[in-house]
């Protein structure tokens, strides 16, 4: 490194640029994950709290108990569903944002980002007033004669799904927008002039060229969905369980070994599903 910086005459070396982030990653991510892995193999005892050992008991407990499996699969399908909806809703929006010549483009982008200015918990609290049986939505539907009785959206799966989509959509839109912006408009026109109608153009040119962004946006929203905490807790209520609240619940009960195991399962599932999806999408394009 010494010789490097001497040669370029610059005090900035690659290591000094990457260094701080690397240290943060080790302290903030790698060490805790390793600790978590270690804890997850320990056993819980109501009196001694944690018994040091190496046992798969916590994982066995998780995968043999129908309650935990239910939480697990609910989390996976809610995250997948929300991601899919974000992609379907986000792509057209991102396309318009990327291609617009309007001088209000920046305003439009700020409007998309706006929801992120409000914290998840604050926003969920807002949704609560909207979704409750005495909430705005319910009253409006009744007043308009569209519903005969009060509509209870609060503490339902639908409420959680709507909430998560609202939180995640901006991430999807922004990721897609930047990628679509990088695709020369002439590519689309070339496809048109060669005889491709708009849907064919989309399938054969725009989609595969935007794929890196689609994968990035999908991964981002999927991870956010899998790990959603505030939205399921506040909008789903006590009956609705997803993985992140479950982890926290176990820690609150001082059952660190089981909480760690659940956290580890959540993380591993997220990572492997993400990798699988990315691999599959890329492969499909190469074949198509």
Partner 1 sequence: MARLELENLTKRYGDFLATREVTLDVEEGEFLVMLGPSGCGKTTTLRMIAGFVEPSSGTVRLGARDITRLPPWRRNTGLVFQSYALFPHMTVNQNVAFALEMRRTPAAEIGTRVAEALRLVRLGHLGDRLPRQLSGGQQQRVALARALVFHPDILLLDEPLSNLDAKLREEVRVEIRNLQRELGITTVMVTHDQEEALTIADRLVVMNEGRVRQIGTQRDLYERPADRFVAGFVGRGSFLEGTSDGQGRFRTNGGIEIACAAVEAGPAVLGLRPERVGLAPNGADNSFEAVVEFVSYLGGLVDLHCRLTDSDRVIAQMVNTGGGDLPRVGDRIRIGWPAAAAFVFSGEKAK
Contact between residue 260 and residue 50 where contact means Cβ atoms under 8 Å apart: no
Give the rounded distance of the alpha carbon of 208 from its chain centre. 22
Establish if 215 lies at the interface with partner 1 (CB under 8 A): no
Out of 195, 238, 252, 280, the residue judged to bind partner 1 by CB under 8 A: 195
Candidate list 81, 181, 208, 227; residue touching partner 1; CB under 8 A: 208
CB of 247 closer than 8 Å to CB of 232: no
Kindly tell me which residue out of 128, 169, 191, 267 binds partner 1, with binding defined by CB under 8 A.
191
Stretch that binds partner 1, among 41-49, 86-94, 193-201, 232-240 (CB under 8 A): 193-201
Q: Which stretch binds partner 1 (CB under 8 A): 120-128, 157-165, 199-207, 271-279?
A: 199-207
Q: Out of 184, 239, 252, 287, which residue is the one contacting partner 1 (CB under 8 A)?
A: 184
Token match 């946006």: residue? 217
Report whether 155 contacts 240 (CB < 8 A): yes
What DSSP designation does 234 have?
I
Give the ranges where the chain is alpha helix by DSSP (H).
2-8, 14-25, 31-40, 57-64, 66-99, 105-113, 120-131, 136-143, 157-181, 185-193, 198-201, 207-226, 230-231, 243-252, 256-287
Using the rule CB under 8 A, which residue among 117, 197, 238, 287 binds partner 1? Answer: 197
Per rule CB under 8 A, is residue 192 in the interface with partner 1?
Answer: yes
Confirm or reject binding of residue 187 to partner 1 (CB under 8 A).
Answer: yes
Closest approach of Cβ 208 to partner 1, in Å? 5
Give the residue with the Cβ less far from partner 1, 60 or 194: 194
Whole-number CA gyration radius for the chain: 24
The reply on whether position 194 binds partner 1 by CB under 8 A is yes
For 82, 120, 162, 274, the CA distances from 166, given in Å and listed in that order, are: 9, 10, 6, 21
**Site residues for partner 1 per CB under 8 A:** 184, 186-187, 189-197, 200-201, 204-205, 208-209, 285
């Amino acid at each position: 490194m010494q010789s490097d910086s001497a040669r370029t005459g610059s005090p900035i070396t690659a290591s000094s640029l990457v260094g701080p982030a690397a240290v943060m990653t080790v302290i903030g991510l790698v060490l805790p994950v390793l600790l978590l892995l270690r804890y997850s193999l320990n056993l819980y005892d109501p009196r001694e709290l944690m018994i040091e050992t190496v046992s798969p008991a916590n994982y066995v407990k998780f995968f043999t108990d129908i309650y935990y499996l239910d939480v697990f699969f609910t989390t996976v399908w809610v995250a997948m569903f929300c991601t899919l909806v974000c992609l379907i809703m986000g792509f057209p929006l991102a396309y318009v944002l990327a291609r617009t010549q309007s001088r209000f483009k920046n305003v439009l982008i700020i409007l998309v980002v706006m929801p992120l200015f409000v914290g998840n918990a604050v926003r969920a609290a807002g949704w609560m007033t909207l979704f409750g049986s005495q909430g705005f939505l319910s009253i409006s539907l009744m007043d308009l004669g569209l519903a005969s009785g009060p509509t209870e959206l609060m503490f339902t799966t639908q409420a959680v799904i709507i909430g998560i989509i609202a939180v995640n959509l901006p991430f999807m839109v922004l990721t897609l927008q930047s990628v679509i912006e990088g695709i020369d408009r002439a590519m689309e026109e070339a496809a048109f002039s060669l005889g491709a109608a708009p849907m064919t153009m989309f399938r054969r040119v725009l989609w595969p060229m935007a794929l890196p962004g689609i994968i990035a946006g999908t991964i981002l929203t999927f991870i956010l969905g899998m790990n959603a905490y505030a939205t399921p807790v506040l909008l789903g209520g006590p009956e609705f369980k997803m993985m992140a609240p479950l982890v926290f619940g176990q820690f609150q009960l001082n059952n660190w070994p089981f909480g760690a195991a659940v956290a580890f399962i959540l993380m591993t599932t997220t990572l492997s599903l993400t990798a699988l999806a990315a691999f599959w999408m890329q492969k499909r394009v190469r074949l198509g």
